[in-house]
A and B are shown apart, each in its own frame.
Chain A
Amino acid sequence: DAKTTQPTSMDCAEGRAANLPCNHSTISGNEYVYWYRQIHSQGPQYIIHGLKNNETNEMASLIITEDRKSSTLILPHATLRDTAVYYCIVRVPYNQGGKLIFGQGTELSVKP
């Protein structure tokens, strides 16, 4: 599974959009991009995933570049409750041996 690179930490003002970048330059054609977050010491929470098209759900939007070497998670209106560590992960399907390998993640602090 390909590796990802994320900034260690970011700040965002409450109510503004939070844009979290991720580099995955060695991604292969059948690997999806996933985003999870972990609040305090709770279990990680799934946010969104995508292959090559932009995706949106009730939590966030995922923008994947055309060459698929990087992506951005967008929280459109960040709240204090969005303060968490955000993990970007790439992997092949489970039934092709793909495992979810977490990196260090980005610690997002949403400030009033």
Chain B
Amino acid sequence: NAGVTQTPKFQVLKTGQSMTLQCAQDMNHEYMSWYRQDPGMGLRLIHYSVGAGITDQGEVPNGYNVSRSTTEDFPLRLLSAAPSQTSVYFCASSYSRGYSPLHFGNGTRLTVT
């Protein structure tokens, strides 16, 4: 059982480049979300989805796009990377009913130069 898988683990981008961070889960979870974590800070919610075809904004959505075409995948797109997006990105998933706990991936470490 792979759980939540994030790729790549590390990425370096130049300012203005675009890229997609991949997140996949094999637990048939309806709820998926993206967080970013900056040094010495807690996690901040970027976007989330309660099911295929449904997405919504979190605390810090600017500069990021998401889509949810399947239950398993929830990619995060940076259309034009900026140095302020240098961070560690975590994807998490859960059953959406009740109070099921979130399962987190191991993160993608992104540096924008």
Footprint of B on A, CB under 8 Å?
A: 32, 34, 36, 41-46, 49, 51, 85, 87, 93-95, 99-105
A105 to B98 alpha-carbon distance, docked (Å): 24
Q: Decide yes or no whether B13 CB sits under 8 A from chain A.
A: no
Task: Give the A-B pair count, Cβ closer than 8 A.
Answer: 62
Residues 68-113 of B at the A interface (beta carbon under 8 Å): 88, 90, 92, 94, 96-107
Whole-angstrom distance between the Cβ of A53 and the nearest chain B Cβ: 13
A15 to B41 alpha-carbon distance, docked (Å): 29
24 A-B pairs whose Cβ atoms sit less than 8 Å apart in the complex: A41-B88, A41-B107, A42-B107, A43-B107, A44-B43, A44-B90, A44-B102, A44-B104, A45-B104, A46-B101, A49-B99, A49-B101, A85-B42, A93-B99, A94-B30, A94-B31, A94-B96, A94-B97, A95-B50, A99-B33, A100-B92, A101-B59, A102-B35, A105-B42
Count B interface residues, CB 8 Å: 30
Given contacts A43-B104, A93-B99, contact A103 B94 (CB under 8 A): no
Pick the contact of A95 from B33, B45, B96 — CB < 8 Å?
B96
Contact assessment for B42 and A99 in the assembled complex, using a CB-CB cutoff below 8 Å? no
Given contacts A100-B33, A100-B45, contact A93 B98 (CB under 8 A): yes
Contact assessment for A99 and B48 in the assembled complex, using a CB-CB cutoff below 8 Å? yes
Contact assessment for A94 and B50 in the assembled complex, using a CB-CB cutoff below 8 Å? yes
Whole-angstrom distance between the Cβ of A97 and the nearest chain B Cβ: 8
Which residues of chain B are within 8 angstroms of A42 by Cβ–Cβ distance?
106-107
Contact assessment for A87 and B96 in the assembled complex, using a CB-CB cutoff below 8 Å? no
Which residues of chain A are within 8 angstroms of B41 by Cβ–Cβ distance?
104
Which residues of chain A are within 8 angstroms of B45 by Cβ–Cβ distance?
99-102
A49 to B102 alpha-carbon distance, docked (Å): 11
